[in-house]
Each structure stands twice: as structure tokens, then as C-alpha cells.
Structure 1
């Protein structure tokens, strides 16, 4: 099976993946998930054999790249695909002049996953869309 992870302009496919994972599986409301920021973000798409199976987005805020909306379809979790998505997002972020760090809001259960990718948690646990999160950062 051929796995590809790449920057994409196909926002509709990313939104469809996020609908499955965040809205249908995790119960996030559509109003919270579709926040109107996708048109200003860079998007990363993962495919296996040409079929979309995961995505992420990157928003630039000053010298910071905010990685978010990282999702992988349930049947592909545990394969290393999530790490590949985040690594590609970090690669794209580091190519932007002036960006010196990446931040993200990690679901609490995923903190160890992001720590394995070099992120460090900071600040308190907070509720985002009914799910406990914690902010994390990594210098680029």
C-alpha cells in the first residue's frame, strides 16, 4: 500500500474527513468544527492507495504556526499516519520565514503522542468542544 502525505488545496476532502472523526465520532458540533478559518490555512492530506484517510491544517499567527484539526480515520489509527501528518505540518511551517514555533491544542489522551514528536505541554487542562485539551508547543 502506498501512503502519501502532502499539502493540498482540497479543503472539501479535509472537511469530509473531519466530519467523520470530529462531528460523527467525537460528537463535536458542526458550528465548532467548521470555524471559517480553513480558507486561510495550509492543509495536509494523507492518502493510502489514493483514498483520503487523514488530514491536518496549519494557521500562521505571527511567528507561530498553529497546527490543528489533526485527524485519522479510525481504521488507520496506530499505523504511524498521525505522526506523518504532524511531521509534514511541521515541515511546511518551518518553510515559512519568521515562524519559530508550533503550537497545538492536544486532546488529553493524545498528549504522550505529541510529546513523542517533540512537543511540550503547558498551561492548564481546558474544555474545547466538550473534550479536555491541553496546549502544547515545539520550537522549530
Structure 2
């Protein structure tokens, strides 16, 4: 293995799976030592990324009707700037595509905007959000994947 290259493994966690590694990553990123899960965890599809069997990143996708929302995307500090977050988001995009999503949404802080834009997300000003500190962004999967249709 070349120096500087990460060997990553991404796993999907589904409803009812153990979220212990997700909680470990969140706690490291949020610098807290508590049970940082919420009531939405049991309703979400999660991604956890491992390096040498150690959890280093996570994210989740919530499905609300026809809306696919990505949130709680975290990468431990020592692994940032190595495209690990990109890997997490692309795993979530893959799962959303398999579920025939047309668009995926993310509400992020302003300092994360460039990261999501680098993947292809664009700001959506038509989405109302009570939190004015957040930027609402959308990724059209047909455009992103450059294909005509899904599940037809």
C-alpha cells in the first residue's frame, strides 16, 4: 500500500442494526461523551466507514415521502481532507439511487457549502428552513449520474 492512501470499507446499516460505531464517530466529532443518537436514527439508513476496522466516518439518509435527506455526516478530525466525507456522501447517493430517488437534499452550514458543491449539490432557495444558519442544497440524481431513468 502506498504511503498516504487510505484503505476504506463502507457499510450500510439498516433499520434495527447496532449503531454503536456511528455513535463513536459522532462523539469524537462533536467532542462529547454521551449517547449522541436521536429518535430519527431508527428511521434512517446509515453509512459507516472503517479504516482497518476502526470507524472513522458516518452519515445517514432519512426518507420523508419523496424527500431523501442526508444529514449527520461526520468524519473524525484526523481523517479529514482525505476525501472520506466524499466517500460517505457517494455511498449515500448510491443507496438513494437504488431506492429510485430523483433528488437528494442536505441542509448544511455555510462552511460546508463548498464541499457539497464539489460533489454536485446546488443551493435551493425555495426550500424553507427555520434555521437561518443553514444552507439548503439539492442534488439531482439524473444529472449527477448522467442517465435517463431509474427503475423503469
TM class, shorter-length? 0.7 to 0.9
**TM-score, scaled to structure 1:** 0.83
Structure 1 or 2: more strand by fraction: 1
Q: 2:10 aligns with which of 2, 5, 9?
A: 5
The aligned length equals: 130
> Distance between the aligned counterparts of 1:133 and 1:76, measured in 2?
24
**TM-score, scaled to structure 2:** 0.77
How far did residue 101 of structure 1 move? 0.8
Q: Deviations over 1:66-104 (max 9, x none)?
A: 00100000000000000000000000011114x211001
**Which 4+ stretches in 1 moved above 2 angstroms?**
122-128
Provide the secondary structure at the position in 1 that maps to 2:124: strand
Q: Deviations over 1:105-130 (max 9, x none)?
A: 111101011001110112388648xx
Q: 2:90 aligns with which of 87, 92, 96?
A: 87
Determine if contact 1:126/1:134 at 8 Å carries over to the other structure.
Answer: no
Partner of 2:140: 139
Matches within 5 A, 1:71-82: 71-82=74-85
Partner of 2:147: none
